[in-house]
Amino acid sequence: MSTLNTRIKDFYDASTPLWLSTWGEQMHHGYYGPKGEREVAHKQAQLDMIDALLEWGQAPPSFNRFLDAGCGVGGSSRYLALRHPNATGLGVTLSPVQAENGMRYNREAGVADRLEIRAQDVYTLDAEKDGPFDLIYSMESAEHMADKRALFDLFYRMLRPGGQIVMATWCHRSEPPALTADDRKVLANICKLYHLPPLVSIPTLGGAAEAAGFTNVATDDWSKAVEPFWGAVISSGLDPRNWPGLIRAGKSTIKGAWAMKYMKEGFRTGAIRYGMLRATRS
């Protein structure tokens, strides 16, 4: 395992119990309408985000097999499995703690017989043994994956012809105008504290998909739609009831909590963007 992947694994092994106790099994942003205008409970907004991504991503209305690439504890995977009772799925995460919790949730939800969650690096998936898939779903995980071209090459091999990929991921602002020194400082702090390789722009993400052979590639910027979530996350971090869990989670999680201020600043200035991508294997 690479040094970066080890840091990612250790971070999520340590921080996942705190997130589960505070927020539950959906480990991603919420959706608050195109301009962030909807007033909705934050946990509902997280479920709305799944539906919004699937709708915008033109996910097939029915499918036989799906991959959740970077699944966390499998919240989205179970959502898909429960909505598609004839489908089987695979979710992968670098964190054994997340995989263990995910399989426990699968058993409780009655989907463990057709939804597997593994502690495995996405890049080590085998197209022949693990695929093919009708849908590849990636919710806020591709920012952890450094080689975007290799990632899309893999996804292309793992999809059936006509299969669809839908993705939401953290990006940086498109250039021009050039990122300022302050922008780069904010982005560097986010990447350091959340154990990310350098972020890419949304057009760069789309270009990597096209270079891998995908067709019908479309991208979008949903930063406004998700920005209200960070205020809620910061509020939860300031709640004294959550401090004992934060302390138990250890140094890396405390540093991750500190990174929240950089995320909020990055959204305010536009340095960080919430990128969307959909594409079809021809």
Largest CA distance in the chain: 52
Euclidean distance between CA atoms 201 and 220, whole angstroms? 11
Residue 24 pLDDT? 87
Q: Does residue 254 have a pLDDT over 70?
A: no
Euclidean distance between CA atoms 234 and 254, whole angstroms? 12
Per-residue pLDDT, averaged over 66-85, amounts to 97
Per-residue pLDDT, averaged over 53-78, amounts to 97
Q: Does residue 253 have a pLDDT over 50?
A: yes
Q: Print the SS3 string covering the chain.
A: CCHHHHHHHHHHHHHHHHHHHHCCCCCCCCCCCCCCCCCCCHHHHHHHHHHHHHHHCCCCCCCCEEEEECCCCCHHHHHHHHHCCCCEEEEEECCHHHHHHHHHHHHHHCCCCCEEEEECCHHHCCHHHHCCEEEEEEECCHHHCCCHHHHHHHHHHHEEEEEEEEEEEEEECCCCCCCCHHHHHHHHHHHHHHCCCCCCEHHHHHHHHHHCCCEEEEEEECHHHHCHHHHHHHHHHHCHHHHHHHHHHCHHHHHHHHCHHHHHHHHHHCCEEEEEEEEECC
Residue 234 pLDDT? 62
pLDDT band at residue 272, thresholds of 50, 70 and 90? very high
Share of the chain above pLDDT 90, in %: 77
Per-residue pLDDT, averaged over 164-184, amounts to 95
This prediction's pTM: 0.92
Per-residue pLDDT, averaged over 17-45, amounts to 89
Q: Token pair of 112, please?
A: 């463990």
Euclidean distance between CA atoms 186 and 273, whole angstroms? 12
Q: Which of 144, 166, 136 is nearest to 94 (CA)?
A: 144
φ, ψ (nearest 5 deg) of residue 36: 70, 25
pLDDT per position as a tens digit, 128-156? 999 999 999 999 999 999 999 999 999 99
Euclidean distance between CA atoms 101 and 19, whole angstroms? 12
The fold adopted by the segment(s) 3-280 is Rossmann fold (3.40.50)
pLDDT per position as a tens digit, 87-133? 999 999 999 999 999 999 999 999 999 999 999 999 999 999 999 99
Q: In sequence order, which residues have a C-beta less than 8 Å from that of residue 90 and are 6 or more positions away?
A: 65, 66, 67, 68, 115, 116, 117, 118, 130, 133
Q: What is the mean pLDDT of the chain?
A: 91
**What residues does each domain of the chain span?**
3-280
Residue 243 pLDDT? 43
Residue with the bigger pLDDT between 236 and 28: it is: 28
